[in-house]
Amino acid sequence: MISGLQIGVLASGVWALGLLGALHRRAQGYGRRELFARAAGDPRKGVAYAFGKGMSPAAKESAREHLPTWFAGVGYHLGILAGLGYVALLLVGIELDGMLRLGFQAPLLAGALCGTGLLVKRAFTPRLRALSCPDDFLSNLLATAFVALAFARTISARLDAAFLAETMLLLLWVPVGKIRHCLFFFTTRYHMATHFGRRGTFPPASFPPRA
């Protein structure tokens, strides 16, 4: 029997997906730039690079020089993905056990720790705090609580209601605040990559690019 909270999660998911779709249409509604300059490189190769090697610390100084933060970001996002997968399983009535449960618990715990670390970093690094707006804290808090509660829910089914309620809140906030980057990360990276791919900057002639 599906509970009210489960219906709430599903409805929030529809809200999130619907509004993300609307945001995508709004952004693309600005139109495509007609390009007249002859391409020097292949935009598709630029895209392949940007979504592949170009994401690695070897390719990006900003990642190379901030490896703990970069790994925390990766861990955080893997945790969120695991959390979403876990919600989906719960909604179709699958309870995890054994190795499968461990397989979810590991990224969830890591994600919760990473998310907390990033939140603390944002709160206590003066420069990062100054760069932030309330949405940064709220988004980080909602996503971290989501992953933490997902982990807790794998241990105790009594936290079911709390976890589902938190999932609802997160999904409601996704398209409103900066978590919309779950969509725009892909479109932005695509646009940037086609731009630099056309110009022959991506992919670099040698990899890693500094060599």
Partner 1 sequence: MPELDELEARLARLEPADFERGLAVFRGKLRGAEASYLETCVRCGLCADSCHYFRADHELKSIPAYKLSQVASVFKRHCTVEGRLASALLGAKSFDRAMARTWVEAIFGRCSLCGRCSLNCTTGIHIATVLRAARSALAEMGLVPSDLQSVVTQSLESGNNMGITKQDWIETVEWLEEELQTAVGDPGARIPVDKEGARVLFTVNPREPKFFPLSLQASATVFHAAKEDWTVASEGWDLTNYGLFTGDSVQAGAIADNLLRSMQRLGCRVLIIGECGHGYAAARWEAPEWLGREHGFEVRSFLELMEDYFREGRLKVDPDRHQDPVTLHDPCNLVRHGGVCEPQRTILRRTVRRFVEMIPNRAENFCCGGGGGQLAMARFQAKRVQAGGVKAEQIRRSGAKTVVAPCHNCIDQLMELNREYRLGVSIKTVAEIVADALVFDQPVGR
> Would you tell me which residues interact with partner 1 (CB under 8 A)?
23, 26-38, 40-41, 50, 60-63, 65-66, 69-70, 73, 125, 127-128, 130-136, 138, 176-178, 180-181, 184-185, 187-189, 191-193, 195-196, 199-201, 204-205, 209-210
- Contact between 177 and 156 (Cβ < 8 Å): no
Nearer to partner 1, 36 or 98 (CB): 36
Instruction: Considering the complex, state which of residue 85 and residue 204 has its C-beta at the smaller distance from partner 1.
Output: 204
CB of 129 to partner 1, least distance (A): 10
Question: Cα(172)–Cα(111) distance, rounded to whole angstroms?
Answer: 20
We find the least distance from the C-beta atom of residue 190 to partner 1, in angstroms, to be: 8
- Which one, 37 or 99, has the nearer CB to partner 1? 37
Pick 60 or 101: Cβ nearer partner 1: 60
The least distance separating partner 1 from the CB of residue 157, rounded to whole angstroms, comes to 33
Least separation in angstroms between residue 102's CB and partner 1 is: 30
| d(C-alpha 24, C-alpha 163), whole Å | 29
Residue with tokens 């969830």: 108
Rounded-to-integer distance, Cα 25 and Cα 198, Å: 24
Nearer to partner 1, 95 or 135 (CB): 135
Q: How far is the CB of 139 from partner 1 (least distance, A)?
A: 8
Kindly state the smallest distance separating residue 192's Cβ from partner 1, in Å.
Answer: 4
Residue 133 per-residue DSSP state: -
Q: Are 112 and 147 in contact (CB under 8 A)?
A: yes
Nearer CB in complex with partner 1: 34/97: 34
Phi-psi region of 156 (alpha: psi -120 to 50; beta: other; left: phi over 0): beta
59 Cβ contact list (under 8 Å, min separation 6): 53, 204, 207, 208, 209
Q: Side chain identity at 43, as an amino acid letter?
A: P
